[in-house]
Amino acid sequence: MANTTAVYARVDTSLKEKAEGILSQLGISPSSAIQMLYSQIVLQRGMPFESRLPEHSHLIDISSLTEDELAAEVEKGLAAVRAGDATPADEAFAALRRKYDL
């Protein structure tokens, strides 16, 4: 048997459950999935997927805005709605659910 060692990681409970549900359907144990990830990191000499900032870097963290800055951002949003340049909320949420498999 190969020389093995334990890997311990803290993972969000919901994320763990969703991931393990998918792995189970694929017939892959969590340990095998981690082994596969580590193997790919070694083979690729880095993460086996792109690690980059989202394309929408214009997103704003509203918690860092002053009251006046927040009011200005809200006004921009209202102006977009008035101009017909907005996506209905149900369509926007549906798109997010599809994109992130929620």
Structural domains in the chain, sorted by start: 1-52 (1.10.1220.10), 62-100 (no CATH)
Residue environment code for 73-99, b if the CB has 16+ CB neighbours within 10 A, otherwise e:
eeeeeeeeeeeeeeeeeeeeeeeeeee
**Residue-by-residue pLDDT tens, the chain, 102 positions:** 579 999 999 999 999 999 999 999 999 999 999 999 999 999 999 999 887 766 665 667 888 889 999 999 899 989 998 998 888 889 989 998 898 888
